[in-house]
Structure 1
Amino acid sequence: MTKFHGRKLAYSFAVLNATIIGFSFLFAKIALDYASPLDTLTLRFAASFAVMSIPVVFGWTKLNYRGKPLHKVLLLAAMYPLGFFTLQAYGLKHASSAEAGILYAFTPIATMMLASLFLKETTTVFQKLSVLLSVAGVVFIFAMKGGGIDLSNLMGIGFLLLTCLAFAGYSVMARSLASQFSPAEITYLMLGTGFVTFSIVSLTTHGAAGTLDLLFQPLASSVFVASILFLGVISSLVTALTSNYVLSILSASRMSVFSNLSTIVSIGAGAIFLGERITAAAIIGSIFIICGVVGANRQKQHQANHTRASVKTRDSSAS
């Protein structure tokens, strides 16, 4: 696969990733009607780790960790999924979903700053303004829906801001590890760490309270099982694989801005499945987001021409 086609696939995966995340909010709401956040996370990562273990056990997916810095991937897993989901759960306990949506939109800015500091990634003024435009689109949508940030709620805001930093840190570190690990190797360790950690905490908590049956009781519901399979297999496994692949091709700052597309998908999912009305503010904000994503990933014209010319030269030589 040429570098040009690899980049096109990366952009496709980035859009797919945002689409899945957008729908995951809907399935997470359904799952939380049946189980606690911790139990939901435990079963979610159990499903994702079990499914990915199948091709690993049968040798269809080759993993090679020999001589590689495993401690770095474990640190990566500490940021995402462990840090991200734990901080998100506590943040939502003390803050509204609107506040979470607004603050999460700032993740691309945090990623851009960390990528500049640790990876020495550079962005043009136009790209910086494009990232700000995408963030403004998300904030505009939530603000017009009556959502805002209650500055008196410092604990909730603090946890949600740390959630942004956790995901930004993951994006930057995954990008730095792309030359040493394959996307599958990073993903398998991430999911395995999430599964083991959340399982230990959940089993210990239920064991101490004598409520172990409550952990598996929701599995009697087909609706819950379907939601967990989506969250575990599609929203955790597929997005981890695709995002780790994208970060092996695109810079962390370019990848992160795609996350704001999930807001548009959430609006569409709410309209289709929950009958929610799409307002003019949602349309305007969505346009801001899309323009911001396109602008942040826009190459300079001479750079794009050089890339296409290089691809044509290689293709001509090959033929």
Structure 2
Amino acid sequence: MPINNPRLTASFYALISISFWGVSFVSTKAVLEKLDPYSIIVLRFGIGALFLLILLVIQRIRLFVSIKYLPHLIVLGVLGVFVHQILQVTALLTIHASSAGWLISLSPIFTVILSILFLNEKMTITKGAGMVLAITGVLLITSTRSGHSFHFSINIGFFLMILSTLNWAVYSVLLKRLRIPYSPLLVTFYMSLIGLVLTAPFIMRSKGWVSLSLLDHTEWAHLLFLGVFVSGIAYWYWGKALNVLEASKVSMFLYLEPVSTLIAAVLLLQEKVLFISAAGGIIIIIGVIIVNGQLVPLLFSLFKNKRL
């Protein structure tokens, strides 16, 4: 396959985005010990917007956008930045980073559900079975151990995390369908700026800047990573991938996000991974693959590679 293949390049962009987002749960969890959720969002998107602005200046891209597309940018900024980040950061107050990583892989399922409801795609027995399997995996992850038995816990963090995956599916579909005729870098900058403006009143109300003096160099490193690589580069590259690939195809890369989160959580937060959580995560991914009709092609590809 040629190196300059646009689809291969787009896949590479999506993979980078997913890797950064996977680690973002760990970095957010680490900073939550010192900063409130709103302060984290304001600071990371402030850093991200500044970083993107510098890139725009370096690449000599005009900042002007037509007022016609301002509502589009506001909607994307509200969903992709404001709502999405508040849901995830609040969820991380009560659940492990590794659990958040597993649950985010549900996003492709919601993409399929939205397609059935609004794009007249048909529900099949295979899709239904895959959804049931994925829900089973969610129930396993959200269970807690008591003695030698497991029971299912009602934790608002799990609910918020699942809600954020639905929100992300809506955002990804809109980002693809709205067809804003500007570079992904410029669109991402305005989304970050809108997210910053919307969340700024919260940090002013809570006086979150007072806690900045409590951060050590490690926590500042996490915050800079969230701003530059997660809020800046990852959102930018996700938009670049959606410019070339279908939304459903790009969402498939979310299968890999839990792996990134799991490795980072174990290495950086020393989280213990329960077997039942890992099993639930694997079941979710299998269910999502079945729903999206990727199981047979995937098995065929593996079998073909093995024979070669």
Q: Give the TM-score taking structure 2 as reference length.
A: 0.75
> Which secondary structure does the structure 1 equivalent of 2:182 belong to?
coil
Q: Deviations over 1:90-133 (max 9, x none)?
A: 4455x544875665443222222224545667899778867876
Structure 1 residue 37, shift from structure 2 partner? 1.3
> Which secondary structure does the structure 2 equivalent of 1:69 belong to?
helix
Distance 1:241 1:140 in 2: 34
Question: Who is 2:301 aligned against?
Answer: none
Name the aligned partner's letter for residue 217 of structure 1.
Answer: S
Question: Who is 2:187 aligned against?
Answer: 186
Question: Who is 1:23 aligned against?
Answer: 23
Name the aligned partner's letter for residue 248 of structure 1.
Answer: N
Distance 1:25 1:177 in 2: 28
Distance 1:213 1:25, change over 3 A: closer
Distance 1:16 1:249, change over 3 A: same
Structure 1 residue 61, shift from structure 2 partner? 3.8
Distance 1:181 1:133, change over 3 A: farther
Q: Give the TM-score taking structure 1 as reference length.
A: 0.73
Question: Who is 1:36 aligned against?
Answer: 36
Name the aligned partner's letter for residue 256 of structure 1.
Answer: S
Give me the identity figure in percent.
27
Structure 1 residue 183, shift from structure 2 partner? 1.2
- More displaced, 6-15 or 159-168? 159-168
Distance 1:280 1:92, change over 3 A: closer
Distance 1:14 1:59 in 2: 22
Q: Contact 2:37–2:86 at 8 Å: present in 1 too?
A: no
Question: Who is 2:48 aligned against?
Answer: 48
Distance 2:258 2:168 in 1: 17
Distance 1:291 1:63 in 2: 43
Structure 1 residue 234, shift from structure 2 partner? 0.8
Q: Contact 1:138–1:260 at 8 Å: present in 2 too?
A: no
Q: Deviations over 1:242-284 (max 9, x none)?
A: 1111222222223224224222222222333345566665665
Structure 2 gaps of 5+ residues are 298-308
Asked whether 1:238 is paired with 2:233, we answer yes
Question: Who is 2:57 aligned against?
Answer: 57
Distance 1:123 1:20, change over 3 A: farther
Distance 1:228 1:156, change over 3 A: closer
Alignment root-mean-square deviation, CA: 3.9
Asked whether 1:266 is paired with 2:267, we answer no
Structure 1 residue 286, shift from structure 2 partner? 6.3
Q: Contact 1:48–1:191 at 8 Å: present in 2 too?
A: yes
Structure 1 residue 197, shift from structure 2 partner? 2.0
Q: Deviations over 1:135-172 (max 9, x none)?
A: 7666655658768442xx6x666644442332121111
Distance 1:161 1:57, change over 3 A: same
User: Pick from 244, 247, 250: which aligns with 1:249?
Assistant: 244
Name the aligned partner's letter for residue 72 of structure 1.
Answer: H
Distance 1:272 1:91 in 2: 21
Name the aligned partner's letter for residue 18 of structure 1.
Answer: I
Distance 1:195 1:96 in 2: 25
Distance 2:285 2:15 in 1: 11
Distance 1:265 1:285 in 2: 16
Aligned pair count? Answer: 291
Q: Contact 2:106–2:284 at 8 Å: present in 1 too?
A: no
Structure 1 gaps of 5+ residues are 207-211, 302-319
